[in-house]
Amino acid sequence: MADTQTMADTQSITYNAAMGQALVEAMREDDSIFVLGQGVATGGWFGAEKGLADEFGTDRVIDSNISEAFEAGLAAGAAIAGMKPVINMGFGDFALIAGDEIFHKLAKWRYMHGLNVPMTAVIIFPIGTMNGAGPEHSSCTEVLGMHFPGLKVVVPSTAADAKGLMCAALREPNPVLFHSVNTLSFQRGDVPTGSDHFVPIGKACVRRPGSSATLLTYGSMVEPSLQAAGQLAGEGIDLEVIDLRSLVPIDWPLILDSVRRTNRAMVVHEAMKTAGPGAEIAAHIQEQAFFDLESPVLRVAGKDVPLPQHGALEALCIPSVAEIVAAGRQLCLG
């Protein structure tokens, strides 16, 4: 899972620490960045902001009360007043608590006021299951940012990308929904040091080149997809695995090039299937490359049910390596 760029100077740190590092380095360079959210000063629920308050003080690393709508709305107001807020929303599910503030305000403020001005704001949504966090704390809500225009949407799958996309988001003149993946929080990876490790927003990346079919995935499903590709390789099926990294903008050129080469495609994500991100991806691919396709674009995705709190039941709701393998076979042989 090597990144494309050369990594002269790297460090093995966790995914969350990598996000934190990007924040620290950017905050040292830019006074207008501040961090706010529930518990961010007291360590951060997921450790991403650990140590931030020690270095920057509680004026720039601010615990809020339990008020997600306030937190997101505050981000919009601070951003139009020229600050660069970074808000940890706690859980992706809470996008539905702050929907007006995120999708009507942050996303549309400039458009509806006819303003072409920069507006930096990073909204962190930790997403996905984490062994029984239950139906209101486990959702993958990134599709909301795809449907409602005006925001950029990223989902890093490695520690290096967690840092690189955060570095990019903090310099991006548009609000970014930054989805961090709960199950990856403590996963280590080689992460470039320095504040100039940018993973450009809107660029996907080929994690495994292949020729039989294109597997499009991101976030928590990159690793299982690579495992499935490994298994299928033994059966003579050579999957190309693409990590989308950004959902808005989405890297259609890279995706369509690959599909036109392999003539087959599948999408794998943890988010629920119906009207999820894969629906758009499948619909778009068949629209654009129908006559290149030898079989339908398949989707392997979360079951269309709320996530039970029971760890074992929860596991049944999200794609397994076996399901990805089965879909890969169906795609190439069926």
Partner 1 sequence: MNDQHPGKNPGGPAPDSDLLKRMYQRMALTRAIEQCMAQHVRNNRFSGWWHPGEGQEAAGIGASAAMRRDDYLFYQGRGCSWAIGKGMAPGPILGDLLGKPSGSTGGKGGGVPHWVDYAIGVMGEGATLGSVYPLAAGAALAAKQRGTDQVALANFGDGTAARGTFHETLVHAAAWKLPLIYFCENNEWLVGTPLKQVSPTENIADYAAGYHIPGVVVDGQDAQAVYTATAEAIERARAGEGPTLIEAKVFRKHGHYAGDPQHYRAPDYLDAYRDPLALLAARLDEDEASALWAQAEAEVASAYQAAMAEDDPAPDTIFKDLYYG
Ligand X SMILES: Cc1ncc(C[n+]2csc(CCOP(=O)(O)OP(=O)(O)O)c2C)c(N)n1
38 binds ligand X (CB under 6 A): yes
Confirm whether 323 is a catalytic residue: no
From the CB of 112, what's the least distance to a copy of itself, in Å?
A: 5
Confirm whether 147 is a catalytic residue: no
One of 71, 137, 142, 179 is an active-site residue; which one? 137
Q: Which does 20 bind (CB under 5 to 8 A by kind): partner 1, a copy of itself, ligand X, none?
A: none
The region that residue 12 occupies, defined by phi over 0 for left and psi between -120 and 50 for alpha, beta otherwise, is: beta
For residues 208 and 299, which CB has a smaller minimum distance to a copy of itself in the complex?
299
For residues 61 and 281, which CB has a smaller minimum distance to a copy of itself in the complex?
281
From the CB of 217, what's the least distance to a copy of itself, in Å?
A: 16
From the CB of 304, what's the least distance to partner 1, in Å?
A: 8
Instruction: Identify the residue among 25, 71, 93, 270 touching a copy of itself (CB under 8 A).
Output: 93
From the CB of 60, what's the least distance to a copy of itself, in Å?
A: 29
Task: Provide CB contacts within 8 A for 212, sequence distance 6+.
Answer: 232, 237, 238, 239, 240, 262, 264, 332
* Cα 155 from Cα 250, distance rounded (Å): 11
66 binds ligand X (CB under 6 A): yes
Alpha helical stretches, state H, the chain? 15-29, 52-56, 68-80, 99, 109-112, 143-147, 159-170, 222-233, 252-262, 277-289, 311-317, 321-333
Burial class (CB in 10 A: 0-12, 13-18, 19+), 143: buried
Number of helices followed by number of strands (H, E) in the chain:
12, 14
Burial annotation 75-113 (CB, 10 A radius, 16+ → b, else e): bbebbbeebbbbbbbbbbbbbebbbebbbebbbebbeee
88 binds ligand X (CB under 6 A): no
For residues 69 and 206, which CB has a smaller minimum distance to ligand X in the complex?
69
Instruction: Identify the residue among 90, 92, 175, 302 touching ligand X (CB under 6 A).
Output: 90
From the CB of 7, what's the least distance to partner 1, in Å?
A: 30
Quickly count: other Cβ atoms within 10 Å of residue 114's Cβ.
Answer: 6
150 binds a copy of itself (CB under 8 A): yes
The label of the residue with tokens 């997403």 reads 127
Quickly count: other Cβ atoms within 10 Å of residue 16's Cβ.
Answer: 24
Q: Which does 298 bind (CB under 5 to 8 A by kind): a copy of itself, ligand X, partner 1, none?
A: a copy of itself
Element (H, E) at 241: strand 239-243
65 binds ligand X (CB under 6 A): no
Binding footprint of ligand X on the chain (CB under 6 A): 38, 66, 68, 90, 97
Binding site residues, a copy of itself, CB under 8 A: 93-97, 99-100, 102-104, 107-108, 111-112, 134-136, 143, 146-150, 272, 274-280, 282-284, 286-288, 290, 293, 295-299, 304-306, 308-309
Residues serving a catalytic function are 68, 137
